[in-house]
Structure 1
Amino acid sequence: MAKRALIVVDLQNEYDAGGKLPLENLDQAVANAKRVLTSARDRQDMIIHFRHETPGDKDAPFAVGTTGTEILAPVAPIDGETTLTKNYPNSFRDTCLKQLLDEAGVEDVVIVGAMSHMCIDATARAAFDFGYGVTVVGDACATMALSSNGVDVPAPQVHAAFMAALAFAYGQVVSTTDLLDA
């Protein structure tokens, strides 16, 4: 079996109801991410947590030093788990993620977190481009409603469109139950 790593992307306070960018279905995504995280710990998979920060503007979402950058308690790292900070949607950009995965001999990555249409999408595509097997746990990810050219797109449709696009060519998109039963 190939060596696997779990990448937990940006499950932070900023996305909770009191944050600057509240997401729909975040509670369900966090509960599922916690189940995936517990399984990865039991399997002794490599686990890497990401925190997004926005340097410079102290009023921006994810401003450095604010509670918005803190990882949500149910999926908080424990001793021995790596936490990296990123400033871009792609978790590989300007971080040591690829180096850590390669040094550990990781071949497959499992991705959970937020937001489906930004950091999950960018990280999954980059992982595929770097040659990793990619699994996104769709129900352990959350997003928000978007609008483009006067067209409002509800969060479930945003999420479904991005999961469908990733599943089309970049990897597997599975449910928490399917991942844990495999």
Structure 2
Amino acid sequence: MKKSLLATLVLSSVFALAACDQASKDQVSAKVEDAKASVVEAKDATVEAAKDVKDAVVEKAAEAKDKMVEMKDAASDKMTEMKDSASDKMTEMKDSASDKMAEMKDSASDKMAEMKDSASDKMAEMKDSASDKMAEMKDSASDKMTEMKDAAKEKAAEVKDAVTK
């Protein structure tokens, strides 16, 4: 019986060892599978993260491009607006200057006409005055000549009377 007990003991230990060894192999195998799955998950997560980063970069680049186009259009619109404003201002200044020049021309023309009329009136007045003076001098000279003629006649009559006497 000793032998059978010993054989049972040896056999049970072999089974125990085999079972332990199998359990240990199963645990190691499970841990290896878990590690492989973790590596695959990590790889997939890394790939997914890289894909997300790439998509985010592409999206941000597109947004930046759109923003640059928008800023360019805004700047272009602002420049067009400033150009139109400056053009309108220049046209307004040109029209204002043209109106001012026309006003000054009309004013100068009116002043010249007024001066011409004034000079014409002065000349007519001077002509009338000179005419009046000439007529007065002519009348005065005529009166003087008549007086001198009468005086000469009287003298001649006196001389004739004195000679005849």
Q: Compare relative contact order (CA 8 Å, sep 6+) and give the higher one, 1 or 2.
A: 1
| TM-score bucket (shorter structure) | under 0.3
Taking structure 1 as the reference length, the TM-score comes to 0.12
Give the structure with the larger helix fraction. 2
Taking structure 2 as the reference length, the TM-score comes to 0.13
Give the structure with the larger strand fraction. 1
